[in-house]
Structure 1
Amino acid sequence: MVEIIILAMVFLFVGLRLWSVLGRRTGHEQQPIAKPVEVQAPAAGISRTTTEALPQPASAEPAIDARATDGIRAIAAADNGFEAARFLQGAQSAYRMVLEAYWKGDVAELDRLADDGVRDAFREAIEQRRAAGHVLDNRLITIERAEIERAALVGQTASITVRFDADIAAVTRDAEGTAVAGSLTDAVQTHDVWTFSRNVRSDDPNWMLVETDEAA
Structure 2
Amino acid sequence: MTVIVVLAMIFALLALRLFSVLGRRTGHEQQQIPAPADDRPAGARMPAGEQQDGRTPAQRAAESAVAVPAQAGLRALIAADRSFDVAQFLSGARAAYGMILEAFWKGDRETLKSLCDADVYAAFDAAITERESAGLTLDNKLVRIDTANIVDARVDDGVAHVAVHFEADLSAVTRDSSGAVVAGSLDDAVSTIETWTFSRDLRSRDPNWQLTETDEG
Question: Aligned-residue CA RMSD in angstroms?
Answer: 2.2
2:134 pairs with 1:129: no
2: distance between equivalents of 1:181 and 1:170?
Answer: 8
Kindly provide the CA deviation profile for residues 8-65 of structure 1, in whole angstroms up to 9, marking residues without a partner as x: xxxxxxxxxxxxxxxxxxxxxxxxxxxxxxxxxxx9xx93639969xxxx84424000
Aligned residue for 2:76? Answer: 74
1: distance between equivalents of 2:8 and 2:178?
Answer: 23
- Equivalent of residue 89 in structure 1, options 88, 91, 116: 91
- Structure 1 residue 136, shift from structure 2 partner: 0.1
Kindly tell me the number of residue pairs found equivalent between the two proteins. 168
Q: Which amino acid aligns with 1:47?
A: A
TM-score normalised per structure 1:
0.73
Q: Give the 3-state SS of the residue equivalent to 1:61 in structure 2.
A: helix
2: distance between equivalents of 1:112 and 1:61?
Answer: 28
Aligned residue for 2:8? Answer: 47
2: distance between equivalents of 1:178 and 1:126?
Answer: 19
- Structure 1 residue 80, shift from structure 2 partner: 1.2
Aligned residue for 1:33? Answer: none
Kindly provide the CA deviation profile for residues 133-187 of structure 1, in whole angstroms up to 9, marking residues without a partner as x: 0000000000000000000011201101000000010000011111000000000
Q: Is the 8 A contact 2:62 2:86 kept in 1?
A: no
Matches within 5 A, 1:1-216: 47=8, 49=11, 59=58, 60-62=61-63, 63-215=65-217
- Structure 1 residue 206, shift from structure 2 partner: 1.2
In structure 1, runs of 5+ residues without a counterpart are 1-42
Q: Is the 8 A contact 1:79 1:201 kept in 2?
A: no
Q: Which amino acid aligns with 1:211?
A: E
Q: Which amino acid aligns with 2:157?
A: G
Tell which structure's C-alpha radius of gyration is larger: 1
TM-score normalised per structure 2:
0.73
Q: Does 196-205 or 110-119 show the bigger shift?
A: 196-205
2: distance between equivalents of 1:67 and 1:47?
Answer: 39
Q: Is the 8 A contact 1:145 1:165 kept in 2?
A: yes
Runs of 4+, deviation exceeding 4 Å: 50-53
Q: Give the 3-state SS of the residue equivalent to 1:47 in structure 2.
A: helix
1: distance between equivalents of 2:115 and 2:192?
Answer: 21
Q: Is the 8 A contact 1:164 1:191 kept in 2?
A: yes
Q: Which amino acid aligns with 1:139?
A: K
Aligned residue for 2:54? Answer: none
Q: Is the 8 A contact 2:152 2:163 kept in 1?
A: yes
Q: Which amino acid aligns with 1:144?
A: D
- Structure 1 residue 127, shift from structure 2 partner: 0.3
Aligned residue for 2:25? Answer: none
1: distance between equivalents of 2:151 and 2:203?
Answer: 23
Q: Is the 8 A contact 2:172 2:189 kept in 1?
A: yes
2: distance between equivalents of 1:84 and 1:203?
Answer: 20
Percent of matched pairs sharing the same residue: 48
In structure 2, runs of 5+ residues without a counterpart are 19-28, 30-57
